[in-house]
Amino acid sequence: MKKSQLEKFSALVLEKGVNLQPNQGLEISCPVERADFARIMSKVAYKMGAKLVRISYNDEIIDKLTYENAKTEVLTSVPKWFIDKKESLVKENFCYVCLSSENPSLFKNVSGEKLLAVSKARSKALKKYSDAIMSNQIRWCVVSLPTKDWAKQVFPTDKNAAKLLEDAILYTMRLNEIDPVKSWENHVELLNKRAKILNDNNFKYLHFTSNFGTDLKVGLSRNHVWISAEEKSADGVNFIANMPTEEIFTAPDCNNVEGVVFSAKPLSYNGQIIDNFSLTFKKGSVVSFTAEKGYDCLKNLINTDKGTKKLGEVALIDNSSPVGKCNILFYNTLFDENASCHLALGKGYPTTVKNGDKLSIKQLKQLGVNDSIEHVDFMIGFSDITCVGVKENGENLTLIKNGNWVI
């Protein structure tokens, strides 16, 4: 990628993504392979008046070696300095940019039990930090740029895999447009308009159906609020937590989900792939499931804790979004979730109920907002998916038909 493009990318993420304020700190987490990006973003951030830029590099080759060689009991003991470092972002009100560019199959030969034990230990140790992130205590933004192994998985037979993936990312980020900031503002406005219609209707539940077999009723939390691209952090400043983002999402009532749902795309979870799976829900909980690929990985995910058997998010997206139009399987949730309606197993966002950021976990639970150490999105938006919103009095409104918005 040209230097000028990386500068444009960085400026967009700092301006519209985390909305970096003068004299504020910024942390960038980034694969070491994309140090070029971290260096340019740091430069742009200092130009915008950042107080301090901190970099947190990760290296997948070493991660793989670590998982293959270090014992589970060593990996599950999360050092205090690691937790303190994460929590310091919240204490010092830093912005946080995360470059998510993992090789989706990195851990395909590592035992599922080991992966589960480590991710569980880390999620548990970082619960306070992730709760702060999910209730927007700080402004954060997840973005992506190609890495070699990831691009190879997306375009296995193409010599120009990295370039093709880069082009797709720039397109979905609206960076090819003359004024990307302006086109993000227009995009946010359109999503807000639809979110308002959803909020005004205050549906009791959503009914998803597709010819593939999905027939699922997702109850909505009392006091639920539909949220789209732009959110407000605790200090009242707007930000966009995912770029790209096409979704309008809210909190399901985690005790009121009934029926069966089929996955529409593979799910890359913990360096492993889960594909062609289905979940059956009763009274909100998964009571049975199937998977053609990655059955054990799905089983581990569902059994992580009480909350991973329930839903924490329902998101509506139509097929005509730039990500949908790309028609590429990215093997990265940041993109794939934006091509398709999705649900998430695990924790619900406190901000998806009225005044939720001021409520305790117990109060949120009473409203049906799920709690867990995990939050994992999976895609359910087949091209023929229909979603109907049903009100308390039985009135209904079709929201999505054949995969596209009709409101």
Strand stretches in 32-72, DSSP E = 53-58
Listing DSSP states for 121-139 in one string gives HHHHHTHHHHHHHHTTSS-
Q: Which of 27, 60, 313, 336 binds Zn ion (CB under 5 A)?
A: 313
| Closest distance of CB 32 from Zn ion, Å | 27
Report the greatest alpha carbon distance in the chain: 59
Q: What number of CA atoms fall less than 13 Å from residue 220's CA on the CB side?
A: 25
**How many residues in the shown chain lie near Zn ion by CB under 5 A?**
6
- The answer to the question of residue 315 lying near Zn ion (CB under 5 A) is yes
- The answer to the question of residue 301 lying near Zn ion (CB under 5 A) is no
Of the candidates 246, 386, 388, the residue with the CA atom closest to the CA atom of residue 317:
246
| Closest distance of CB 187 from Zn ion, Å | 16
The stretch near Zn ion (CB under 5 A) out of 169-177, 189-197, 365-373, 376-384 is: 376-384
Strand stretches in 204-266, DSSP E = 205-209, 215-220, 230-232, 238-240, 248-250, 252-262
Subset of residues 186 to 215 that bind Zn ion, contact rule: CB under 5 A = none
The stretch near Zn ion (CB under 5 A) out of 71-79, 262-270, 309-317, 320-328 is: 309-317
Token pair 């199937």 is found at 290
- The answer to the question of residue 151 lying near Zn ion (CB under 5 A) is no
Q: Which of 344, 369, 379, 390 binds Zn ion (CB under 5 A)?
A: 344
| Closest distance of CB 313 from Zn ion, Å | 5
User: Does residue 195 come out as left (phi exceeding 0), alpha (psi in the -120 to 50 range) or beta?
Assistant: alpha
Subset of residues 239 to 268 that bind Zn ion, contact rule: CB under 5 A = 247, 249
- Nearer CB in complex with Zn ion: 184/226: 226
Q: Is the peptide bond before 244 cis (omega within 30 degrees of 0)?
A: yes
Q: Which of 19, 165, 377, 403 binds Zn ion (CB under 5 A)?
A: 377
Q: Would you tell me which residues interact with Zn ion (CB under 5 A)?
A: 247, 249, 313, 315, 344, 377
